[in-house]
Structure 1
Amino acid sequence: MPSLLRSLLSEHLDPGYAAAAARREAGRTRSRWSERGWQVVAAVAVAAVFAAAAAQAQSVAPATRETQLVLADGVRSAEAVTAGATARRNDLSSEVEAERRTRLEGDEQGRQLLASLDAAEAAAAAGPVRGPGLTVTVTEPDAARDLTDVSKERVAGSRQVILDRDLQLVVNSLWVSGAEAIAVGGVRIGPNVTIRQAGGGILVDNQPIGSPYVVLAVGPPHGMHDVFDNSSALQRLRLLETSYGVGVNVSEGDGLTVPAGSVRDVNFAKQIGQ
């Protein structure tokens, strides 16, 4: 009897509770070990996937590199053929021009016809122009410059600052300033020539150009400079210079050469007013 009283006073919980607690603890232990086992299996599976991907990338890399080299060789070959054909066309054009002048300069009617042809070619940007003028050079900011602020991105997701509309405004302002012939990135601006954005690049007459963007304008340099200094184009460039670090340089020069533009066949034309 005394032992029963001592048991009731010292052992407040039924032994079944202790057994149940022991079983729960054993279950949690097994669960933790099972969870760790699955984590190990998952880690091994992920490592195996990455190893397989790395092995596949290494096996495919030589073929990919070879394909890139073949494509690059094809592009260079096409560029060489195009350059050769362009040079040949220019030589033939020069021969035709010389022969035409030789035959037409002998009489008054021929000289009048030559004057009309020269005026038409000048309007069509069909011949090269050399003389004094302005050079406007616009350079993208250094890649190291911090442009991570989304508010400073002129094109979402792109670090490009100079856009087609900026160069279009420069060209239009130079025309207003008195330019007689203009080239952007070595491409003559003439009828049907456009300056367009193409993703992260700019195309002039469908030819890609890159920074620094050089705009040559043949014309009276001092008068052009005075007008261009007060133009909306230069104001925008100065704003880009302050906000983004764009390089802007305007200089006068003698002996600037603007190349001939692309001459396209005209299928239909009508003089305005007729």
Structure 2
Amino acid sequence: MRASAPNPDGGPAQAAAGGDEKPQRTFTPDFLTELFRNPLDPGYADAAARKARGDGPTGARKRMLSGISALTLVALGFLLVVAYRQTVADEPARTQARDELIGQVQSRRSGTSELQARADRLRGEVADLREQQLGGAAVARMQELEAETGLAAVRGSGARVTVGDGPTPIDPVTGVRSSDARVRDTDLQRATNALWAAGAEAIAINGQRLTATSTIRQAGEAILVDFRPVTTPYQIVAIGPDELAADFRKGAGGQFFKALNSRYGMSYDVAPVGDVTLEAATEPIFRQASPSTPPPAKSQSPKITTSPSEGGR
């Protein structure tokens, strides 16, 4: 029996004539070998081959695609024109409604001013009649109490604190205006409380005199002092000791507004004032009262104790 010679492909040679044939050994290339052998995706390869053969879209197909694109642009343009015409048509109605609201606000404001002037005039007449009926000492004491409570005009020296809104940047993504740099009612409350603590005897915000029953509240974007709107810049004028401005600047209130100025760009200034007059406040509206004489003693009633009934909680 003859020996078989090695096969150049790595498998054994066939046996002698008339002997059994052995299968040849084949090797499948691994993934990396196939990747380096065919680096291009078959789909890209087919597309490149079609482009090389000139099998792209025909002229009729190109014209059809161009027509569809033109129709789409015309439709979009038509919709934009309709939306613009609708906006322009609705603008007069919105402007008219806005003008009517502004007119109503101005009318109500002027009516309120007239009523306030009438109330001040009547109050002056009452004061004149009171001085005629009372003695000099009683009138002087009453005037002193009115000055302390804010019901009479006062004049003197003190400090002026001025704060104003800072810049209001717009978010480029959402388009919302930032309100971080706007003066809020709590800021004015903090300023007035700091002035009271520093020894202020009378305070007014933009001419509105504060009393023990005054309120500083936020209404939307407006600030109301005793239900009257005040706008930026806000001037808080206080009458008190000569060092009132310096004490406010060094105190917690001054440091707070200084931090707002450096962080949000809000305007802030405090300066002493030599001679300033604060007008009287409006008559307060009292909502509670207590009798000047003690109430009569209540009769003692016997205590009644109850016990839960059977079956109850």
Fold agreement, TM-score > 0.5: yes
1:251 equivalent to 2:271? Answer yes
Distance in 2, matches of 1:212 and 1:54, equals 39
Q: Secondary structure at the match of 2:229?
A: strand
Aligned residues: 238
1:157 equivalent to 2:178? Answer yes
Distance in 2, matches of 1:175 and 1:55, equals 58
Aligned pairs for 1:111-190 (under 5 A) are 111-112=137-138, 114=139, 117-118=142-143, 120-141=145-166, 147=169, 157-158=178-179, 160-190=181-211
Give the match for residue 231 of structure 1: 251
Among 71, 75, 80, the alignment partner of 2:101 is 71
1:263 equivalent to 2:283? Answer yes
For structure 2, the residue ranges without an aligned partner over 5 or more in a row are 1-49, 295-313
> Which digits, 9 at most, give the CA deviation of each residue in 1:5-60, with x for residues without a partner?
xxxxxxxxxxxxxxxx8xx9587765554444333222222211211122222223
Alpha carbons 1:124, 1:263 under 8 Å: kept: no
Give the match for residue 218 of structure 1: 239
> Which digits, 9 at most, give the CA deviation of each residue in 1:104-153, with x for residues without a partner?
126xxxx44x456445534542222222111111233356xxx5699xxx
For structure 1, the residue ranges without an aligned partner over 5 or more in a row are 1-20
Q: Secondary structure at the match of 1:253?
A: strand
Shift of 1:259: 2.3
Give the match for residue 118 of structure 2: 88
Distance in 1, matches of 2:191 and 2:114, equals 32
Give the match for residue 209 of structure 1: 230
Change (3 A) 1:137 1:267: closer
Alpha carbons 2:170, 2:177 under 8 Å: kept: no
Change (3 A) 1:231 1:116: same
Q: Secondary structure at the match of 1:265?
A: coil
Distance in 2, matches of 1:253 and 1:27, equals 85
Shift of 1:65: 2.6
Distance in 1, matches of 2:71 and 2:177, equals 42
Change (3 A) 1:36 1:128: farther
Give the match for residue 33 of structure 2: none
Change (3 A) 1:100 1:53: same
Distance in 2, matches of 1:141 and 1:267, equals 38
Q: Secondary structure at the match of 1:41?
A: helix
Among the aligned pairs, what percent are the same residue?
Answer: 30
Give the match for residue 41 of structure 1: 71
Q: Secondary structure at the match of 2:273?
A: strand
Distance in 2, matches of 1:149 and 1:55, equals 29
Q: Secondary structure at the match of 1:260?
A: coil
Give the match for residue 10 of structure 2: none
Give the TM-score of the pair, scaled to structure 2. 0.65
Change (3 A) 1:233 1:267: closer
Distance in 1, matches of 2:142 and 2:191, equals 29
Shift of 1:215: 0.3
Distance in 2, matches of 1:46 and 1:201, equals 42
Q: Secondary structure at the match of 1:197?
A: strand
Change (3 A) 1:79 1:198: closer
Alignment RMSD: 3.2
Higher helix share: 1
Give the TM-score of the pair, scaled to structure 1. 0.73
Distance in 2, matches of 1:36 and 1:259, equals 77
Q: Which has the higher contact order (CA 8 A, sep 6+)?
A: 1
**Structure label with greater radius of gyration:** 2
